[in-house]
Amino acid sequence: MGVFSGHWPSESELDKLRQKVAEMSGRDAQEVRVVVSPYRICPLGAHIDHQGGTVSAMTINRGILLGFVPSNDTQVTLQSGQFKGEVRFRVDEVQLPKHISKTNGLNEQIDSSKPQEECKWGNYARGAIYALQNKGNPLKTGITGFICGSEGLDSSGLSSSAAVGIAYLLAFESANGLVVCPTENIEYDRQIENEYLGLKNGILDQSAILLSSYGCLTCMNCKTIKHKLIRPPEVQNNHVGELGNAYKILLAFSGLKQALTTNPGYNRRVAECQEAAKLLLQASGNEEVEPVLSNVEPEVFEAHKSKLEPDLAKRAEHYFSENERVLKGLEAWASGNLKEFGELITASGLSSIQNYECGCEPLIQLYEILLKAPGVLGARFSGAGFRGCCLAFVDADRAEEAAMFVKNEYCKLQPELASHINQGPAVLICDAGDCARVI
């Protein structure tokens, strides 16, 4: 259980992947295409995308790799570096959402002979076909592919599900000669997650993975779906200057694992935000408007928050304060003020704990350890805060020292959970990444 940093994907990772797909397909390794689909972090904008808030994100230089060759027919054959078994289906099979297929039995018949774990990991590929079919895309060519995450990395809290969905979309589009713009793929991946898998999340993850650019902060208004890239001052002329080299991103892993779709806390918080919005809109005579907090003016919240139950008031407080932190953070990033940017990240983490009330004891301990680590500028949970990891921005010169400090301190407080992080690093040192692409 150590500390790790390095380039991604490395030539050896790509070679190994191409060789694996060549063995599976009987084709030449030079024919293998690779989708690079990075994980994302969200420095500011926690838990407000589903309410139409403004969020910030950037990708890191770790993620999902999907090596594939187009089939000579409609057959899809997939293997995974993480799960056993093989997923097989055809691109011309009609895919139905999981909650529908349980009642009508169609997909259940297809899956019934297969191990449950294998069926689950194959759902993202089937979901990609579902989304593409929904929009009438002509799909005639399947793929033979092998998918894997960055070696030894627990991806909890890094939007791995969106990275996987996007990887499959890009592979099927490439195999079928479809030209699809990033904003369309954001919508397709939303369909995979919301409609096919039944997860009530927003579109931040997909947007970050598809729209990011190295060294920039991606800002998205989740209500208007408008985005912009905020460049730090030193990289405006297309060269990485001081800011690009001034920080590293630390990912500290808790050893906790739980999928969002199985955690009632995530969907319950979304419902609480909507309930708060509904009551605030009623109080201001706007009940006909969709009940999301982005439709509530901040002054309306201030005027009527006393009418909300304590829990609902906290959820709304988090939304309005986090939205404000995002706007301040974008200004800090654009002016190269990493100190202020870090302080806003830490405040976001605190609001997630106190107002949004996510995070369990190990994650909160990890957050507090990061804040004491040498050179750390700011920290918070990464992802939904119901599992996974914490992220921090750290002074590049002190990244190794900070990582060792965090690893040692967390081991003292949570020896059992820390012992679960046996396949990879307890703390990962990353750089900013780029957008998803086929190479």
- Contact predicate 288/305, CB 8 Å: no
What is the pLDDT, as a whole number, of residue 178?
97
CA dihedral defined by 321, 220, 436, 260, rounded to 10 degrees? 40
According to DSSP, the β-strands at 376-382 and 389-395 are: antiparallel
**Residue type for 123, please?**
N
What is the pLDDT, as a whole number, of residue 238?
44
Of 241, 239, 213, nearest in space to 227 by CA: 213
Q: Give strand pairing partners of 437.
A: 36
Residue ranges of the chain with per-residue pLDDT less than 70? 1-6, 99-119, 151-159, 234-244, 257-264, 383-387, 422-424
Separation of alpha carbons 295 and 289, rounded Å: 7
The secondary structure element, H or E, covering residue 381 is: strand 376-382
What is the pLDDT, as a whole number, of residue 263?
58
Query: How far apart, in Å, are the Cα atoms of 394 and each of 17, 31, 116, 343, 398?
Result: 32, 40, 41, 12, 7
| Catalytic positions | 205
What is the pLDDT, as a whole number, of residue 355?
96
Burial class for 259, CB neighbours closer than 10 Å (0-12, 13-18, 19+): middle
Separation of alpha carbons 165 and 249, rounded Å: 24
What is the pLDDT, as a whole number, of residue 423?
60
Q: Is 224 helix (H, G, I), strand (E, B) or coil?
A: coil
Q: Residue 232: phi, psi to the nearest 5?
A: -70, 155
Separation of alpha carbons 280 and 292, rounded Å: 10
What is the pLDDT, as a whole number, of residue 258?
57
What is the pLDDT, as a whole number, of residue 407?
93
What is the pLDDT, as a whole number, of residue 107?
39
Q: Report which DSSP code applies to 135.
A: T
Q: Domains, the chain, ranges and CATH?
A: 9-101+119-228 (3.30.230.10)
What is the pLDDT, as a whole number, of residue 201?
73
**Residue type for 165, please?**
G
Summarize pLDDT for 42-70 with one digit per residue, the tens. 999 999 988 999 999 999 999 999 999 99
Summarize pLDDT for 306-358 with one digit per residue, the tens. 999 999 999 999 999 999 999 999 999 999 999 999 999 999 999 999 999 98
State both tokens at 166. 């996007």
